[in-house]
Structures are given as structure tokens and as C-alpha cells.
A = this chain, B = another copy of it.
Amino acid sequence: MAFVPLKGVYVLDCSTLLPGPYCTMMLAEMGAKVVKVERAGTGEPMRTTIPGCFDYLNGNKKFVTLNLKQPKGKALFLKMAEKADVVVEGFRPGTVKRLGIDFESVKKINPAIIYCSLSGHGQTGPYANIPGHDVNYQGLSGLLNISGNPEAGPEFPDGFQAADLSGSMFALVSILAALNAKDKSATYLDISISESLAMWMMPRFFEYLSEGKPSKSKFMGRGPYGIFETKDGKYITIGVVENHFWDNLCKVLNFDDLASDPTLGSWHARNHERAKIVPRLKKAIKKKDADDWIRILTAADIPAAPVCDFEDWHNNPQFKYKNFIPTKTDGSIDRNAFRRFPLTDIKIDNQQNQEDTAIGKDNFEILTDLGISDTEIDAYKKEGVI
């Protein structure tokens, strides 16, 4: 049975850029009412740096502006916080305290508040006040050190914002856990992005210990597991870990000598002896086109998939089947049918999706909800409070 898990949950969000907004986007997608509080006037930086990303991250929220530095702006924030179930903020440590909207201040007026601070390195410790972005946390967490070429120095893999999203996901998990708690006392969630990513590195850390602290080159060296170029200049991935997949691969490629080679009898062995495997595999895969290989390899029950670019998303059979990128008749993305959460039995509240992400769009509605009169709202506007 499909359900909207967070119906009735009210989230007040004054975070910016990616980490906080990604977390609250998911909360909104699960049915929470998320009020995004932006700086009066300019709004948050993502509006201008990457507008498309701003719309994606925030297109299911309410938009309110507030000048938190003015006493009246602070008072309005606290009035909203009184009614909220969750507050999310992503300022530098110390800022909310200075503004008077910190956990202690909100707790006084709302003893059941869940207050989540999402910051680079957490609220305390020697790094707490050091600014950072995704690449800095990726370095600290140990990720970058085992990235790039196994035989060379670290390389920033870009790809996606692994660190920022680790913070988003652990903030999300912690908020859901707190909402789930029977005891409804105030809860403070101090999420550190660099620590969150380190949590994702833990399986690698224990692998590293388990294997006797190998060198980077040894730790990263892979046998029939990686990216291979095809005849048509495209790329496919092959992910052979288990022995039965290795047997299947050798059969398809007529690698009879490798199949019977006793030095290649396990995942570890094939990584260690990769020089015997990788050059031949590269050469073999170069002989046919990507589509042909995907058909041949998957038919032989071998883990393989195309390397997609974003254009491929529209035509990949699996993503197409799932209607991953719903489009309107004119070919543009249909934001009202668009999912921001993987398909599950959880019903997504698409009614909240909207094309209109104008700054301060919902000032009137939200302030009216707080019992503030039209005249007062006009005065707030004139004074630059909203």
C-alpha cells in the first residue's frame, strides 16, 4: 500500500547550496511541508550560480524571505519555528547563535523541536571554523587518496558531490530517526559532512586493514572489473567479481587458457594478476560495438552495462521503462511528474512539484498562517524584513 510517510510534518529550512536543500527536498518529496527561508533581497547563492539545480532542489518547497539580522526578521523566524517539527540550517558554526535562532533559543519556545545543523566538520573541534567545499571533505575522508590512477597521485574524480550528499543523507536519516522516536523531547543533530563521507569510506578502511594495509596501487588494482572502450569509441563496464562470472567471461571471449589458469582462481588472485587479464580484455572488447557487447555479455550472465551520459538517460531501456525522465509533448521535462526519490511503495506527493520557484513567492501565505495581517506584511516588505 502506497503512503505519504511525512504528511503533516513541518520543516523550516534556512540552508543553502546543495547539502541542506538536498536533504529537505527528500523530506518534501515524502510529504513534509518544507518552508525554505532565504535572505531577503538576493535569495540564496544557488539561484544565480546554477539556476537549474536550484529549481530541482527546491521545486517542491515553499519560498519565504527573511532578513534574519533584523530583530523583526528573527522574531518571524522564531514564530515559524514554534510551529515547526524540524529546523535545518547550514550556516557556519556560531552563526545561528549570533542570530539568536540556535537550538537553545528554539527549544525554549518549542520543546519538541528536531534541530539539525549541517556543516563541513561539525560544530566543535579544531576544524569546526574552517570553511570547506566538497573537494576538501573528499580529501579529508580518505576518498581522494584512493582515486584516479592506481600508479599515480590522487585525482579529483568530480562525478558527483559525494561529500555534500553524504551529509545530506545522514542528516535525512537522522531526522527520520528522530521523527520516529517515541520520546518527543527536543533533539539536536550535529551533522559533519567530512565525518559523514568518512562513514561511507569505512568498508574500504576495514578492507584496507583486512588486506594488511596494502599500497595504493595494490589496493586499487583490479582485474576484469572496470571500464573498457568498444569499437565505436563508446565505453562499457564489466564487473566480474565472483568465479562463476569469470568462467562465463572466459567462455564468451574464448580465454580458455585464462579460465584454466590456477593463478586466477579468485577475485583477489585476478586483481593481483591483472597484468595477465586487463590488456587482453581491452583488446577483445575493442573488437565490437558497445550495444553488441552489452547484448552478448548480459545474455551470457556477465555483469555488464553501458557507460551512459545524461543524454543516454532518455533512451536507456531500463530508465525508459521506469519513466525516469518524464517529458511533456514538447520534449521538456515534466516537473509535475518528476520524481526526486527512487521508485518504491512510498507515495510521492507530486502535488507539491511546481515550475514557479520565484523568491519570496509564499511570503503572504506563510505569514498569514502565522496570523499576521496584510498591513503588517506590507510594512515588513517596506522595512526589508521579508
- Asked whether, in the complex, the Cβ of B148 is within 8 Å of the Cβ of A155, the reply is yes
- Asked whether, in the complex, the Cβ of A159 is within 8 Å of the Cβ of B176, the reply is no
Q: Mark A127-153, 1 if CB is under 8 A from B, else 0.
A: 100111111111111111111111001
Return the contact of A177 from the options B56, B125, B176, B343 (Cβ within 8 A): B176
- Asked whether, in the complex, the Cβ of A125 is within 8 Å of the Cβ of B239, the reply is no
The stretch that binds B, out of A67-75, A303-311, A351-359, A376-384, is: A303-311
Q: Using Cβ atoms and an 8 Å threshold, which residues of chain B touch A174?
A: 342, 344, 346
A194 to B343, CA, bound (A): 12
- Asked whether, in the complex, the Cβ of B307 is within 8 Å of the Cβ of A127, the reply is no
Closest Cβ of chain B to A145, distance in Å, is 5
Interface hits, A292-344 → B, CB 8 Å: 298, 301-313, 316-319, 321-322, 324, 333, 340-344
- Asked whether, in the complex, the Cβ of B144 is within 8 Å of the Cβ of A148, the reply is no
What is the copy number of this chain in the assembly?
Answer: 2
| CB-CB under 8 A for A191 and B131, given A160-B201, A227-B144, A237-B136 | no
A222 to B344, CA, bound (A): 37
Whether a CB of chain B sits under 8 angstroms from the CB of A63 is no
Return the contact of A189 from the options B22, B131, B161, B344 (Cβ within 8 A): B344
Return the contact of A207 from the options B53, B132, B133, B302 (Cβ within 8 A): B53
- Asked whether, in the complex, the Cβ of B342 is within 8 Å of the Cβ of A1, the reply is no
Q: Using Cβ atoms and an 8 Å threshold, which residues of chain B touch A178?
A: 3, 5, 345-346
Chain A contact patch, size range? 35 or more
The stretch that binds B, out of A36-44, A165-173, A251-259, A360-368, is: A165-173
Residue of chain B at shortest CB distance from A186:
B1
Interface hits, A210-251 → B, CB 8 Å: 210-211, 213, 216, 220, 222, 225-227, 229, 235-239, 241-242, 245
A386 to B317, CA, bound (A): 41
Whether a CB of chain B sits under 8 angstroms from the CB of A349 is no
| CB-CB under 8 A for A1 and B159, given A141-B308, A229-B153, A346-B174 | no
Secondary structure dominating the interface of A: mixed
Q: Mark A70-94, 1 if CB is under 8 A from B, else 0.
A: 0000000000000000000000000
| CB-CB under 8 A for A45 and B239, given A22-B203, A180-B176 | no
Residue of chain B at shortest CB distance from A229:
B153
A349 to B130, CA, bound (A): 31
| CB-CB under 8 A for A148 and B157, given A5-B180, A190-B343 | yes
Return the contact of A316 from the options B26, B138, B140, B201 (Cβ within 8 A): B140
Q: Known contacts A194-B318, A208-B310; can you find 17 more A-B pairs with CB under 8 A?
A: A53-B210, A57-B203, A127-B317, A127-B318, A131-B245, A132-B303, A135-B238, A135-B239, A139-B305, A142-B313, A144-B307, A156-B222, A157-B159, A180-B180, A195-B343, A198-B324, A204-B310
A contact residues vs B (CB 8 Å cutoff): 1, 3, 5-6, 18, 22, 26, 30, 45, 49-53, 55-57, 121-122, 124-127, 130-150, 153-162, 165, 169-170, 172-174, 176-181, 183, 185-192, 194-196, 198-211, 213, 216, 220, 222, 225-227, 229, 235-239, 241-242, 245, 267-268, 298, 301-313, 316-319, 321-322, 324, 333, 340-346
Q: List 15 A-B contacts (CB under 8 A).
A: A50-B211, A52-B207, A124-B321, A130-B305, A132-B304, A136-B238, A136-B304, A143-B160, A144-B237, A148-B157, A150-B158, A156-B222, A176-B180, A195-B343, A209-B333
